[in-house]
Amino acid sequence: MPLDPALEAALHSSVNAAGQPKTVAQRLVAWLKSLSDGEGSEDQNARFYENVLEAVKVKDTTDED
Amino acid sequence: MRISLSGWASNGLRCPDVEIKLAGKSGEPAKVALVQMPNGTGKTTTLELIRATLTGQASTWPPTRIRDYRRPGDNRDKGEFRVALLLDRRPLTIELILDFENGTASYRTTTPGSGGVVGRWQPPPSVLKFLTPDFLHLFIFDGEFADKLLKQDAGRADEAISALCQLDLLDIVAQTTESQWKKRTSQGGGKTAAALTKLNGLRDALLRRRSDLEKARDVAQRKIDAGSVAAADLTKKIADRLGSVEATRVQHAEAILALQGANNAVSKASGEVMDLLRMPLAVHKSFSESLVELRDNLDHLKLPENTSAQFFADLVQEPDCICGRPMSDVARDEILKRAKGYLDMEESGTINALKHDITMFVAAPGDEPAYVLLERVLKELTSARRQQREADQTLRALAKKLIDEGDELLKEWQDTLGTLETELARCKQVLQEINAPSGEDTDEPIMSMKLVEKKLDEVGKDIAKLSETVDLRSKTDIIEAILKQAARLARDEIRAELVQESNKRLSVILANDPLRIDRIDKSLHLANQSGASVGQKLSVGYTFLMSALNRGNNDFPLIVDSPANSIDEGVRRNIGKLIPELCTQFVGFTINTERAGFVQALEKVCEDCLFLTVFRRTEGTKRLERTLPPVGVTKTDNAVLVNNRDYFMSFDLTDEKDI
């Protein structure tokens, strides 16, 4: 089931503002769509979380030290 | 998901015993259904029971509340209320059973095709989030809720946006993210960047210590190498000096000879002592006594059967026995007969090997036992060391004699050698400490290179683990920040769009009223006015909720108590025109005074309208039963249900005599 267009747009915009790759937004949208379809078991949520986590990039601060 | 209300049925409760079916012309729930129930027929009770049945909340009701639903004068122990839904066209029926005697509520859920009938409130998981008391307020709508939409502290407008526009899904994702973080870091230990900085500091200190120790080891080794050569050179010069001076030549030669002999003896005895110390038998006599006792108590004369049986079989085939005598039939029979007494399990091979080894290592009677040998060799070592020291002392005494006699050069050599030997000993001590096994960790600066390596390894593992944790925290923070920002952006955008859409509808509904929504935060704020009439609130509530429902991706029935009450006829017409456009199913509980304007407007835009009238069967309503239409009438003991448009439109409970 599609998400509210405003919600989907806000996710893409927030991900972009956070300097994260588009994949993060795509994976979050996929997760929300799954929840919207009523498929929110603990295992499924854990898998979606894993996917999102994998896509998130952490800025390496050691180079700046 | 599309949720439709198929109908409900009541039996034995305060409201009339009646079954309402909302099927329209196509057999599916009619797009618009108006249920006319005069005041006192149980309209509010019906709506309460629909809510209680759908949410499962009645199981928490106190007995007094449950008994409150019993019809006065009715002796039945139980009352039942059943709500039938369609979830994406699949039926779901939930029944609420109120036990008036025990004051308890129970449920029964019927889901054909997935689960059948279960004796509890158990709707499918996909619909659970919609069957909460808060969510039901959104589609079982009343004037009270419309009022709350405009109240700042109630926050209903925001809740409606969250629920209908799926913003609450962001909360589920945020909760999962946080719970996963807690789950993964529940083992304890540092979790913060500060803890990681501390560990990195410790690692840097250890790396510096390792570097210092490597340098100290190199310096000590170089000093030992150079000092040993210099010491050997000086020792040779001193020896040559002592050997060349007439007064000390003979004694020096003898002392050198004695020292060489003592050195050889110390070397030989040391080697023997080391060999013997490696044997427990030599360390103490108890070892050999215990081993001999063990051997003597082990099984006697047994051979492993699986490897030795064939030996006897082959032996009897030989012309001579192993004892040298010719093999006769008598001997053959006797060997085969007795062989069994010498054969045993496989373990006997190991036992025999053990016995053999004990015999080999433990001294035979009359031989010198190992522990006696060790005692003797230790005495020899002690003696050789004594001789070594004596020879050394003699050499020193000879050197001192010459020095005392004024040999300055010898004195200088001797002093230099002394200093050199002290430094060499110090360097060797340093090397020994650096090369020592890891040992115990103390407050002192670490000297053991192995201990430094071990600690570096440990701190490295801790850093790796903590880095992963810190990385996970950073990622969790990023995800949570994205979700928070997305919720804010989406909410702002949706609020703005809903204000626009609602005002567009308000301009149609309230064509003669300048009432508009200014903004939405937690609640709805009206433009240019702080208060509103009941009718205005209802109109604003309708338009807002219709806009929100229309926006969401789920379809819900809009069930409204008194949809046109307190609204003037012109506004009713406008609302009536809009309702069919804004929801897939509209169920209105009305009274006759709401019909004017509203019903005609609904009929104009919707062909699939259902008009139901319900009234109680009492003495006062008997006259109404006389004017019932020929079809579409269902009577129960206490109520009449009429499915007829004309009857609906003309229904009036007021007796003509009362006018």
pLDDT digits (tens, 9 = 90+) for B435-454: 888 667 777 788 889 999 99
A26 touches chain B (CB under 8 A): no
pLDDT, residue B508, reads 80
pLDDT, residue B40, reads 86
Per-residue confidence at B60, pLDDT binned at 50, 70, 90? Answer: very high
Q: Which of chain B's residues have a Cβ under 8 Å away from the Cβ of A7?
A: 165-167, 169-170, 486, 490, 494
Q: Which of chain B's residues have a Cβ under 8 Å away from the Cβ of A18?
A: 478, 481-482, 485
Per-residue confidence at B195, pLDDT binned at 50, 70, 90? Answer: confident
Nearest to B169 among A10, A36, A58 (CB): A36
Chain B nearest CA to A29, separation (Å):
10
Here the tokens at position A60 are 């390496």
Residue A32 contacts residue A7 (beta carbons within 8 Å):
yes
Write down the residue that tokens 């500091």 correspond to: B201
Per-residue confidence at B659, pLDDT binned at 50, 70, 90? Answer: very low
pLDDT, residue A64, reads 40
Nearest to B490 among A6, A17, A36 (CB): A6
Q: Which of chain A's residues have a Cβ under 8 Å away from the Cβ of B488?
A: 10
Kindly report, residue by residue over B266-298, the tens digit of the pLDDT: 999 999 999 999 888 888 888 888 888 888 877
CA-wise closest residue to B129 among B491, B493, B556: B556
Per-residue confidence at B14, pLDDT binned at 50, 70, 90? Answer: very high
pLDDT, residue B558, reads 87
Q: Give the span between the Cα atoms of B303 and A11, in whole angstroms.
A: 82
| Structural domains of chain B, with CATH | 1-130+557-659 (3.40.50.300), 270-391 (no CATH)
Contacts of B230-236 with C-beta under 8 Å, sequence gap 24+, read: B230/B420, B231/B417, B231/B420, B231/B421, B231/B424, B234/B413, B234/B416, B234/B417, B234/B420, B235/B417
Q: Give the span between the Cα atoms of B142 and B138, in whole angstroms.
A: 9
Q: Give the span between the Cα atoms of B148 and B523, in whole angstroms.
A: 8
A/B interface, count of CB pairs below 8 Å: 111
State residue B243 phi and psi, 5-degree precision: -80, -15
Chain A nearest CA to B565, separation (Å):
33
pLDDT, residue B582, reads 67
Q: Which of chain B's residues have a Cβ under 8 Å away from the Cβ of A13?
A: 485-486, 489
CA-wise closest residue to B518 among B487, B533, B535, B540: B540
Q: What residue of A is the nearest CA neighbor of B476?
A: A53
- Cβ distance A35 to B167 less than 8 Å, yes or no, reads no
- Cβ distance B127 to A11 less than 8 Å, yes or no, reads no
pLDDT, residue B641, reads 95
Q: Which of chain B's residues have a Cβ under 8 Å away from the Cβ of A54?
A: none
Top pLDDT among B34 and B399 is at B34
- Pair type for strands B585-590 and B32-36: parallel
Burial class (CB in 10 A: 0-12, 13-18, 19+), B175: exposed
| Mean pLDDT in residue range B545-567 | 79
Kindly report, residue by residue over B355-400, the tens digit of the pLDDT: 888 888 787 777 888 888 999 999 999 999 999 999 989 988 888 8
pLDDT at A63 over 70: no
B487 touches chain A (CB under 8 A): yes
Top pLDDT among B565 and B42 is at B42
